[in-house]
């Protein structure tokens, strides 16, 4: 095997993360319930490989912050999701949980560079 031969490019997993900040704990609980019962499965059916939901620790007086992260097989798989499925899924979510209910949304996208599990 030639050590100088170019290595084939492997498609990188893409992580799509939605972070939500809630002013009201009841709204956060309702959002989490909706994700568990409906939305996570819909995004998986639309092409995500997995989904993870985190509710960050907070005291009683502070805002509630949650994060949901999805992995997609490649940038192309995410683009297909974003074009074909995301508009409808986002519209449904915003209809149930508009910003007027005290929710701030932040979305990020990035390549997974390392991942380990034991």
Q: Domain coordinates of the chain in residue numbers? A: 14-111
Q: What is the pLDDT of residues 21-68, one digit of tens each?
A: 999 999 999 999 999 999 999 999 999 999 999 999 988 788 999 999
In terms of DSSP bridges, do strands 50-55 and 64-72 run parallel, antiparallel, or are they unpaired?
Answer: antiparallel
- Given 3-state DSSP classes, what are the helix, strand and coil percentages for the chain, each rounded to the nearest 5? 40, 30, 35
Q: Which of 75, 69, 67, 68 is nearest to 14 (CA)?
A: 75
Please tell me the distance from the alpha carbon of residue 49 to that of residue 89, in angstroms, as a whole number. Answer: 17
- pTM assigned to the model: 0.87
Spatial contact of 22 and 66, defined as CB atoms under 8 Å apart: yes
* CATH 3.30.70.100 correct for 14-111: yes
Spatial contact of 12 and 111, defined as CB atoms under 8 Å apart: yes
């Amino acid at each position: 095997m030639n050590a100088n031969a170019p290595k084939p490019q492997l498609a990188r997993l893409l992580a799509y993360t939605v972070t939500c900040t809630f002013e009201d704990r009841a709204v956060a609980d309702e959002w989490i319930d909706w994700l568990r019962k409906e939305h996570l499965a819909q995004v998986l059916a639309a092409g995500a490989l997995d989904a993870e939901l985190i509710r960050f620790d907070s005291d009683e007086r502070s805002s509630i912050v949650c994060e949901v992260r999805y992995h997609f097989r490649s940038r192309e798989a995410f683009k297909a999701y974003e074009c074909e499925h995301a508009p409808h899924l986002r519209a449904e979510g915003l209809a149930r949980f508009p910003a007027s209910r005290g929710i701030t949304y932040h979305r990020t996208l990035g390549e997974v560079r390392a991942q380990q599990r034991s």
